[in-house]
């Protein structure tokens, strides 16, 4: 916490120095969303280059002055929370002054910018995200406040903890971890008692694009147990992109890649080649939209696809067919095909990439 306080004090000192010299204060931070500032490293994923381009938030320019003011306001809120050892969620911060912030996305963006500017992980700023991810399976842990949590696979699911950093005493006999893209598939596997039937496992879903806490939990479980991690996604560009966020990270959070990515993650399914192999009927597949084509083309150009020849091949199959499929497409073979046949066979015979 002293590191956070010192970093904020340095920013404020620079602002005061500029004012003393009768200059307009400026905040400087890395250009987070610029691909030119990103390098791909096999062992980490997407990370920020040491020599990155920066952008300035100026206090004397009508376009950036409001953002400059909001960043100072947020720094003062963070400073107080760190000093008093209290926490707030991003929603709490937005609702503390909705008129000032205008929208939740403004708050989210400013917090990420401050984290990047101070070079301090967001959770160290005492700001928690509202969690949307779920976890179930062979896992128990103690939360920061001493609450004991047992995720043993029943019909109930548990929300990913909002302070992943603070959980301890993690215990699991799981042999693997399964990241499921969608809530509906996750619930279906729970109903089929998948966690216990095959071999003990941990299941996690970020319910679409994963939030920070879900990604932190996946990373923490990997660091703790070092068990194989598989992903179960829709066979479409959106599913592939979500899997890449877990495995390689995202451009906008590349400055935090070391805490968030798990490059050893494997693609278990649904593979485009599975659709051909299982003779899935064409009428249950969905034709590509223009947006799908654009997204797939952009994924194919990313630096990490070049070092994954088997993934590259799957994306080429998808591009050639111009068809996509949701995991639910397997119910066209039989209602419990996913948990009874597809996953057991894949896990037993190494059907992952």
Residue 325 makes CB contacts below 8 A (sequence gap 6+) with 234, 235, 236, 270, 275, 280, 284, 285, 286
C-beta separation of 5 from 91 below 8 A: no
pTM of the full structure: 0.76
Quickly state the pLDDT bin for 217 (edges 50, 70, 90): very high
Q: What number is the average pLDDT over the span 55-81?
A: 88
Backbone angles phi, psi at 99, to 5 degrees: -65, -40
Q: What number is the average pLDDT over the span 104-126?
A: 85
Do 225 and 337 lie in one domain? The reply is: yes
Do 170 and 114 lie in one domain? The reply is: no
Count how many domains the chain has: 2
Instruction: Say if residue 230's pLDDT is above 90.
Output: yes
Tell which wins on pLDDT, 242 or 249.
Answer: 242
C-beta separation of 216 from 253 below 8 A: no
Do 54 and 166 lie in one domain? The reply is: no
Do 192 and 334 lie in one domain? The reply is: yes
Determine the pLDDT at residue 153. 54
Do 122 and 138 lie in one domain? The reply is: no
Do 250 and 305 lie in one domain? The reply is: yes
Determine the pLDDT at residue 156. 65
Q: Indicate left, alpha or beta for 226 from its phi (over 0: left) and psi (-120 to 50: alpha).
A: left
Domain boundary among 95, 128, 161: 128
Quickly state the pLDDT bin for 44 (edges 50, 70, 90): confident
Do 231 and 270 lie in one domain? The reply is: yes
Q: What number is the average pLDDT over the span 58-82?
A: 89
Do 180 and 329 lie in one domain? The reply is: yes
Q: Can you give 16-59 as a three-state secondary structure string?
A: HHHHHCCCCCEEEEECCCCHHHEEEECCCEEEECCCCCEEEEEC
Look at residue 128 and give its three-state secondary structure. Answer: strand
Do 72 and 200 lie in one domain? The reply is: no
**Mind listing the pLDDT tens digit for each residue in 260-291?**
888 889 999 889 999 888 888 888 888 888 99
Quickly state the pLDDT bin for 34 (edges 50, 70, 90): low
Q: How far is CA 82 from the centre of its chain?
A: 25
Do 166 and 296 lie in one domain? The reply is: yes
Report residue 101 as tokens. Answer: 């912030």
Q: What number is the average pLDDT over the span 147-153?
A: 80
Do 250 and 138 lie in one domain? The reply is: yes
Do 105 and 161 lie in one domain? The reply is: no
**Mind listing the pLDDT tens digit for each residue in 324-343?**
889 988 888 888 888 888 89
Q: What number is the average pLDDT over the span 2-25?
A: 90
- The count of C-alpha atoms lying within 13 angstroms of the C-alpha of 125, restricted to the half-sphere facing its C-beta, is 27
Show the domain range for 164.
134-349
C-beta separation of 243 from 265 below 8 A: yes
Cβ atoms within 10 Å of 272's Cβ, excluding its own: 22
Q: At what angle do helices 290-300 and 309-321 cross, to 10 degrees?
A: 160
- The pLDDT mean for the chain works out to 85
Quickly state the pLDDT bin for 88 (edges 50, 70, 90): confident
C-beta separation of 351 from 268 below 8 A: yes
Domain boundary among 128, 149, 175: 128
Instruction: Say if residue 107's pLDDT is above 70.
Output: yes
Q: Which residues are catalytic?
A: 95
Q: What number is the average pLDDT over the span 41-47?
A: 73
Domain of residue 39, CATH code: 1.10.10.10
Instruction: Say if residue 177's pLDDT is above 90.
Output: yes
Domain boundary among 97, 128, 159: 128
C-beta separation of 237 from 210 below 8 A: no
Instruction: Say if residue 205's pLDDT is above 90.
Output: yes
Instruction: Say if residue 255's pLDDT is above 70.
Output: no
Quickly state the pLDDT bin for 252 (edges 50, 70, 90): low
Domain of residue 294, CATH code: 3.40.1360.10
Determine the pLDDT at residue 281. 82
């Amino acid at each position: 916490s002293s590191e956070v306080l010192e970093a904020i004090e340095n920013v404020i000192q620079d602002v005061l120095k500029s004012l003393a010299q009768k200059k307009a204060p400026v905040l400087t931070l890395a250009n987070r969303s610029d691909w030119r500032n990103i390098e791909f490293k096999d062992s980490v994923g997407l990370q920020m280059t040491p020599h990155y381009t920066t952008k300035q938030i100026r206090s004397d320019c009508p376009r950036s002055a409001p953002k400059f003011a909001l960043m100072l306001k947020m720094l003062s809120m963070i400073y107080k929370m760190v000093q008093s050892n209290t926490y707030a969620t991003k929603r709490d911060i937005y609702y503390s002054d909705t008129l000032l912030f205008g929208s939740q996305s403004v708050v989210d963006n400013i917090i990420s910018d401050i984290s990047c500017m101070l070079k301090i992980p967001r959770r160290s700023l005492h700001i928690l995200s509202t969690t949307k991810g779920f976890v179930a399976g062979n896992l128990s842990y103690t939360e920061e406040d001493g609450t004991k949590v047992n995720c043993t696979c029943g019909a109930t699911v548990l929300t990913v903890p909002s302070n992943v950093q603070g959980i301890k005493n993690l215990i699991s006999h799981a042999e693997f971890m399964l990241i499921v893209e969608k809530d509906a598939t996750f619930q279906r596997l729970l109903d089929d008692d998948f966690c216990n039937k095959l071999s003990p496992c941990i299941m996690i879903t970020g319910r679409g694009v994963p939030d920070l806490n879900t990604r932190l939990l996946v990373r923490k479980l990997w660091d703790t147990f070092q068990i194989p991690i598989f992903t179960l996604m829709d066979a479409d560009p959106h599913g592939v992109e979500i899997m890449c966020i877990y495995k390689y990270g995202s451009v906008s959070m590349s400055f935090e890649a070391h805490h968030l990515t798990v490059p050893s993650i494997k693609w278990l399914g649904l593979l485009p080649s599975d659709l051909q192999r299982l003779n899935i009927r064409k009428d249950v597949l969905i034709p590509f939209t223009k947006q799908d084509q654009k997204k797939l083309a952009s994924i194919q150009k990313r630096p990490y696809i070049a070092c994954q020849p088997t993934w590259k091949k799957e994306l080429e199959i998808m591009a050639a067919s111009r068809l996509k499929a949701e995991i639910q497409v397997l119910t066209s073979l039989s209602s419990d095909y996913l948990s009874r046949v597809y996953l057991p066979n894949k896990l037993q015979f190494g059907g992952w990439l």
